[in-house]
Amino acid sequence: MTHTTTGSAARRPGGATVPVLAFAGIVVAVMQTLLVPVIKDLPALLDTAPSNATWVLTSTLLSGAVATPIMGRLGDLYGKRRMLLASLSVMVAGALVSALSSTLLPMIVGRTLQGFAMGAIPLGIGLMRDMLPREKLASAMALMSSSIGVGGGLALPAAALVAQHADWHALFYGAAGLGVLSIALTLLVVPESPVRAEGTFDVLGAVGLSTGLVLFLLPITKGSDWGWTDPTTLGLFGASAVVLLLWGAMELRLKAPLVDLRTTARPAVLFTNLASIMVGVSFYVVSLVLPQLLQLPTSTGYGLGQSMVRAGLIVAPLGLTMMLTAPVYARLSAKYGPKVTLIIGMVIIGIGYGAGLGLMSAAWQSLVIAVILGAGIGLAYSSLPALIVGSVPASETGAANGLNTLMRSIGTSVSSAVIGMVLANTAHHVGGVAIPTMHGFRVSFVIATGAVAAGLLMAFLLPGRRPATKPSLVASSEEDAARARTGDAPAAPAPSPRGENADVTA
């Protein structure tokens, strides 16, 4: 697909551009993690049945899954900064709707709108790719990619503190305030990208992909409530397969598709996306298991008896370590390429879960697991956008990274469903309350280890890349402008004189 530039950007990116874009990613993560401390109280807070209350979480997941690739494509066509501001604005509106409601339906509407913020991650990565010098791109994308973990890690204890000492609606007012701050900083600091894709927005493709995703994710998130062999669950899975196959056949025939499936089928993109699903699974298992283990009472014989806030603080290093690995990733990737860095990250995650099987008897051990897994997940997450960006044309960066972010979301959704089912089936009941067992926690860690092994296989199947040796500008050099006019992909099959087929992370 060809792409054009709209001339040089009105402003060059300043030193604050990367932190401001990363802050947008952190705001998105805070929005996602916001309700974790009050999940068990939602039915009482909203005066509804537990099965209805889960829609407050499911709605955000579904809208985020739908919005991510669509906002990425709209950003490629009409401006990534513009769509980033639109995503954050919809999130702020959703947070205010939720802040002003105490009943189920308005809360679901508000949370659905908040899910649109998920598009901020691929849009931020796309802006970085278009504007930053090549030598700064690796660490910047790593920071943006790991911001989800950072925000989640910081939001968990903060949200727990607010939930314990203030009205729970304050959580949404806080999220809206952060969203407004992110919008203001983006307007002040971040210039618009000059890179544009040619073509029109594929409305039918967007409807088809949205329908297929909702039909797929709905039974995954609700399967444990409905029953995995229930005709509704099986019917939705079947309908999803049909819709996505028809959507794929249609996309292949269009000149300007929502998702270029031919690009997506390249080994470098395909195996990166498959590895992303596995990284998503491994990230969510620790987020689900450790807080529960820490908060269970010591009377169970294995619970660690920590308060909600203390549990959040013990797990917080998971996200903080992810942030600290961004500069480490940049150095490793510059020397060895993102494929090797992804493999190293996966190995560290495997070590973390393997060690975790024997480190579940004290709070400090949970802290050790969080730090090890944070380092591994940080390296793995940081590698993913570099692998995608190095394999697609500049005009498809938003859509391709949107699809990659979607793959991670699918991983976390599958993980949530599977681990939820494992913990429910291994729980023992005390006074009508299901208490997760140590056996269930260990099985969850074994499943995570299996997912890491599968992700490691995908990483090994990625085509090898040489790290680029000469730093040069990504979107502002004359050669890139020429490439923009001719529509050449930055990762063409044959190496160019500039080493474009080498990795993007010099």
Residues 449-474, mean pLDDT to the nearest whole number? 72
Confidence band of 432 (pLDDT split at 50, 70, 90): low
The CA distance from 47 to 503, in Å, is 53
CA separation (Å) from 316 to 59, 163, 353?
25, 17, 17
In a domain, 213, yes or no: no
In a domain, 221, yes or no: no
In a domain, 212, yes or no: no
Q: Comparing 134-148, 171-185, 270-284, which segment has the lowest mean pLDDT?
A: 134-148
* Contact indicator for 464, 184 with CB cutoff of 8 Å: no
Q: Each residue of 257-278: b (16+ CB within 10 Å) or e?
A: bbbbeebbebebbbbbbbbbbb
Would you state the pLDDT for residue 12? 61
Higher model confidence: residue 236 or residue 137? 236
Task: State residue 434 phi and psi, 5-degree precision.
Answer: -80, 125
Domain count, the chain: 1
Does residue 106 have a pLDDT over 50? yes
Would you state the pLDDT for residue 311? 81
Would you state the pLDDT for residue 487? 41
What is the pLDDT of the chain when averaged over all its residues? Answer: 81
Q: pLDDT for 383-430, tens place per residue?
A: 888 888 888 887 777 778 888 888 888 888 888 778 878 887 887 877
Does residue 124 have a pLDDT over 80? yes
Residues 93-100, mean pLDDT to the nearest whole number? 94
Q: Which alpha helices (DSSP H) does 265-337 contain, by range?
A: 267-295, 308-315, 317-336
- For residue 26, the tally of other CB atoms under 10 A from its CB is 27
Q: pLDDT for 186-214, tens place per residue?
A: 999 999 888 888 888 889 989 998 899 88
Residues 110-136, mean pLDDT to the nearest whole number? 87
Confidence band of 483 (pLDDT split at 50, 70, 90): very low
Higher model confidence: residue 162 or residue 84? 84
Q: Checking DSSP bridges between strand 428-430 and strand 3-5, what pairing results, if any?
A: unpaired
The CA distance from 227 to 222, in Å, is 8
Task: State residue 337 phi and psi, 5-degree precision.
Answer: 95, 155
Residues 35-41, mean pLDDT to the nearest whole number? 76
Structural tokens at position 224: 């444990």
List the beta strands (DSSP E) in 204-274. none
Does residue 491 have a pLDDT over 80? no
Higher model confidence: residue 267 or residue 468? 267
* Contact indicator for 184, 191 with CB cutoff of 8 Å: no
Q: If DSSP states are collapsed to H, E and C, what string results for 374-442?
A: HHHHHHHHHHHHHHHHCCCCHHHHHHHHHHHHHHHHHHHHHHHHHHHHHHHHHCEEECCEEECCHHHHH
Residues 463-484, mean pLDDT to the nearest whole number? 44
Confidence band of 500 (pLDDT split at 50, 70, 90): very low
Domain of 165 in residue numbering reads as 3-202+254-486
Would you state the pLDDT for residue 465? 58
Q: pLDDT for 2-28, tens place per residue?
A: 455 544 444 566 678 889 999 998 899
Structural tokens at position 17: 């551009």
DSSP state of 302: S
- Upper half-sphere CA count for residue 28 (Cβ side, 13 Å): 32
The CA distance from 403 to 248, in Å, is 14
Does residue 377 have a pLDDT over 80? yes
Q: Comparing 66-70, 264-268, 498-502, which segment has the lowest mean pLDDT?
A: 498-502
Confidence band of 59 (pLDDT split at 50, 70, 90): confident
Would you state the pLDDT for residue 479? 39
The CA distance from 125 to 134, in Å, is 13
Does residue 504 have a pLDDT over 70? no
Q: What is the CATH number of the domain that holds 474?
A: 1.20.1250.20
DSSP state of 503: B
The greatest distance separating any two alpha carbons of the chain, rounded to the nearest whole angstrom, comes to 71
Q: If DSSP states are collapsed to H, E and C, what string results for 242-262?
A: HHHHHHHHHHHHCCCCCCCHH
Does residue 498 have a pLDDT over 50? no
Q: pLDDT for 149-185, tens place per residue?
A: 777 777 777 887 887 788 888 989 999 999 999 999 9
Would you state the pLDDT for residue 24? 93
In a domain, 220, yes or no: no
In a domain, 109, yes or no: yes
